[in-house]
Amino acid sequence: MKHHFCLVPVLLASMFFIVHARAQTPAGVNAKDMASKKSDSLKVNNFNLDLNFLTHGEICAGGLPKDTVNDDLEVDKSGTSAFLLGRVRLILGYQRKWLEAKLVTQNLAIWGMRSNMTMNLYEGWIKAKAPFGLFGQVGRIALSYDDERIIGANDFATASLSHDVLRIGYEGHGHQAHIILAYNQNGENVYGGSYYVGGAQAYKSMQTIWYHYDIPKFPLGFSLLFMNMGLQAGQANTPNNPARVEYQQIFGGYIKSPYKYLNVEASYYKQRGKTIVGDNLMSFPIDAWMASAKVTGYPIEQLGITLGYDYLSGDDYVPVLYGGKFGMILHSVYKGFTPLYGSRTKFYGILDYFYESAYSHGFTPGLQNAYIGVSGQPFANFTCGLTYHYLAVATQLADLSSTLGHSLDVQAGYAFTKDISLKVSYTFMLGTETMRRLKDRSDSGNGHWAWFSLVVSPTLFKTKF
């Protein structure tokens, strides 16, 4: 008996330990799982390998200016063009508490091209985070700010935009402040700088300040942007018109108020300094501006109705084609606003006639874009939308109406899984005589355009160590 009584304290202690352990262990989780989670918590390095595979196809009839047809190329001049494009991105990501890095390689090629090895580095950067919300980032970065009106990835262009920059800033307590610095060269010059034309981005140098603030407990956020760009002008090794850098500034702001059933957005930007016209041979003072307003209402959860208006200033005198020739017009100030590095097809109609392809004479009549659209999600994983655009110039044209035309965009998308999605769209442009004259069209100026994009983006590998 004595020995049995000695076991009682041990048994009581064991029972207390087991009951206490079960109380500390969530239901359905065993000790092995807890040990595994504890082990994962000690792993501070995260690594992932992702694939982004895009197949894009387009068919277009009408609407293109005659100067896009090159008689030296073997092309079908029947009026309809079509192509298929493939884009493959391999994405490597690394992250730990204070350090982050990303590497994105990209292959882009038209189906059937003789050379299918257009490999390049789309993104490659490293980011270090310091206490109190400070950070520094350097490398090739896909910049995106606000609604992407001025700076955006422009991913619909498939090649997309990225910038070689140094970015430093602060993020915390509703405040975001970024400083972006860039200086571009075409080679490793020991003495002086290279004449920079035709690089990854048009600017020779760039300095940008961006500030954003979200008002606490109130659905309102606003941003301020200032950008200074140095553009290469003149010609290399030409005494009469030597190479030089002309600076252009853009500054303004963006505001967004996302209520539950109403989303309001507005922006205003001013453009000053000097701009380059005519294959970098000439530079003109620039005094341009743009403004936009957009309201989206949600009468029900799956339905959105949008009303919007964009105004982009234009030049006072724009050469208009009469009898196959342009007249000589002298400009002292360039008043055509340029949306720089924004995602342009997002704003001015998917078939963007006006800023994706510039006017051949280098001056612009500006643009007024009034639109109304409806979008929704009729059932799970399926989205669709319809948008009508009324398009007009923003300046006076002699003997021509200000109306450029009418555009109708139809879009639909379906997500088969979280990794596989399909988007399709059709656009019809009904052009006017003004459109035909400005775009140098011999036919009606009407355009039909349809496209699809199949995107497969799985995570190939993910680990912690």
Quick check: is 25 in a domain?
no
pLDDT tens, position by position, 279-292: 666 788 999 999 99
pLDDT band at 396 (very low <50, low <70, confident <90, very high): confident
Quick check: is 405 in a domain?
yes
Quick check: is 81 in a domain?
yes
pLDDT tens, position by position, 424-457: 999 998 988 888 878 766 555 678 889 999 999 9
Range of the domain at 330: 46-464
Q: Could you tell me the sign of the dihedral formed by the alpha carbons of 35, 37, 38, 42, in that order? A: positive
Bigger pLDDT: 36 vs 246: 246
pLDDT tens, position by position, 79-117: 677 889 999 999 999 999 999 999 999 998 889 887 665
| Number of compact structural domains in the chain | 1
Q: Which of 114-128, 187-201, 269-283 comes out lowest in average pLDDT?
A: 187-201
Quick check: is 22 in a domain?
no
Residue 128's CATH number: 2.40.160.100
Q: What is the mean pLDDT of the chain?
A: 83
Quick check: is 23 in a domain?
no
Quick check: is 4 in a domain?
no
Q: How far is residue 455's CA from residue 457's CA, in Å, rounded to a whole number?
A: 6
pTM as predicted:
0.84
Q: Which of 34-38, 197-201, 386-390 comes out lowest in average pLDDT?
A: 34-38
pLDDT at site 351: 73
